[in-house]
Amino acid sequence: MSDKLLEIEINHSLKTANGTLPMEISLSVPVGSILAVTGPSGSGKTTFLRQLAGLAQPRSGHIKFGEQLWLNTESAFNLPVQNRRIGFVFQDYALFPHWSVRANLSFALDKGAGREVIDELLQAVDLVELADRKPHQLSGGQQQRVSLARALVRKPDLLLLDEPLSALDHSLRASLQDLLLRFHRKFGFTMIIVTHDLGEIFRLSNQVIIIEDGKILKQGTPAEVYLSDQDISEGIIIYGEVLSCQKQKENLLLRALIGQHIKEIYVPLHMADDLLPGKSFALRYNPGDSDIMLIKN
């Protein structure tokens, strides 16, 4: 990390299912750090990322990466996306379906740039043998690695990732997180990743912001944001997904997926309306007293 900052000030109006919301995000991140962006869907995370990339323009705002000005709506300055040295990993990977893996990467080369970087990256993401395959002949994890490698061909200053690992299973996630950290160490880019996975936030990021309804709700290191939380000091929070529930006398027997394990939990019957199979939940459990509270579902 350096003393340089990525300074962001964005004002926009966010179109949501419930009408338009004012979006106001003001933030500065040390260049070279990893910022996680999280929050409920529809809260403006993807819009934020696209505005940073230059794929969308906020109504007004100011973005500066180190010494380089990217956006200043007051002076009507907007550095085009092509000139903001960024890499973008899309949620749907956005691989070019008509080209091989190698061609997907080569397309990203700037004019006159050496081709060695393609082989290096293919090796780094372990895809040398699959370099001649088309994207549809690859698995999800492999496609994601291609998309990551492609985003790194131009050696970006800022790597933006929009829920890149959400479609992958746990073991693949872990190996891709490793890969991201390795690349981050090697290339030293600034990284902004949108994710819903708490483990991922702690594993990858130095900074996290929670965006809700277009505004930053909380900001800090993952520990500051999540561990000093009152919810924690008052007990343990269990995040999970309901698989089945069954009424048993005064209690509800909940079978839920917690992490990668199926657990049985007895909760008070009054929660029965909120806990339905397929729903995700957060329960607060106080070891001191036997009270279990539903804090989110």
Residues 6+ apart with CB under 8 A from 227: none
Compute the least distance from the CB of residue 178 to other proteins, in Å: 24
291 binds other proteins (CB under 8 A): no
In whole angstroms, what is the distance from residue 276 CA to residue 265 CA?
A: 14
In whole angstroms, what is the distance from residue 215 CA to residue 39 CA?
A: 10
Compute the least distance from the CB of residue 196 to other proteins, in Å: 19
Size of the residue set binding other proteins (CB under 8 A):
28
Distances (CA, A) of 219 to 6, 29, 66, 160, 261: 15, 11, 21, 18, 31
**Of 12, 62, 145, 150, the one binding other proteins by CB under 8 A:** 150
Distances (CA, A) of 9 to 136, 138, 175, 189, 274: 39, 39, 34, 20, 38
Question: What part of residues 44-63 is at the interface with other proteins (CB under 8 A)?
Answer: 50, 53-55
192 binds other proteins (CB under 8 A): no
The amino acid at 225 = V
Record the tokens describing residue 133, joined without a space: 């395959």
Binding mask 170-189 for other proteins (x = CB under 8 A): --------------------
Compute the least distance from the CB of residue 102 to other proteins, in Å: 15
Record the tokens describing residue 114, joined without a space: 């050496």
Instruction: Kindly report the length of the chain.
Output: 297
In whole angstroms, what is the distance from residue 78 CA to residue 60 CA?
A: 11
Compute the least distance from the CB of residue 149 to other proteins, in Å: 12
In whole angstroms, what is the distance from residue 71 CA to residue 61 CA?
A: 7
CB of 25 or CB of 53, closer to other proteins: 53
In whole angstroms, what is the distance from residue 156 CA to residue 71 CA?
A: 18
**Of 3, 41, 75, 136, the one binding other proteins by CB under 8 A:** 136
CB of 4 or CB of 154, closer to other proteins: 154
Binding mask 10-39 for other proteins (x = CB under 8 A): ------------------------------
Binding mask 74-113 for other proteins (x = CB under 8 A): -------xxx--xxx-xxx-xxxxx--------xx-x---
Q: Which of 154, 143, 136, 42 lies closest to 97, judged by CA?
A: 136
Compute the least distance from the CB of residue 92 to other proteins, in Å: 6
CB of 153 or CB of 193, closer to other proteins: 153
249 binds other proteins (CB under 8 A): no
Record the tokens describing residue 44, joined without a space: 């403006």
Q: Which of 164, 154, 77 lies closest to 109, judged by CA?
A: 154
CB of 58 or CB of 235, closer to other proteins: 58
Question: What part of residues 115-134 is at the interface with other proteins (CB under 8 A)?
Answer: 134
Q: Which residues are at the interface with other proteins (CB under 8 A)? A: 50, 53-55, 81-83, 86-88, 90-92, 94-98, 107-108, 110, 134-136, 150-151, 153-154
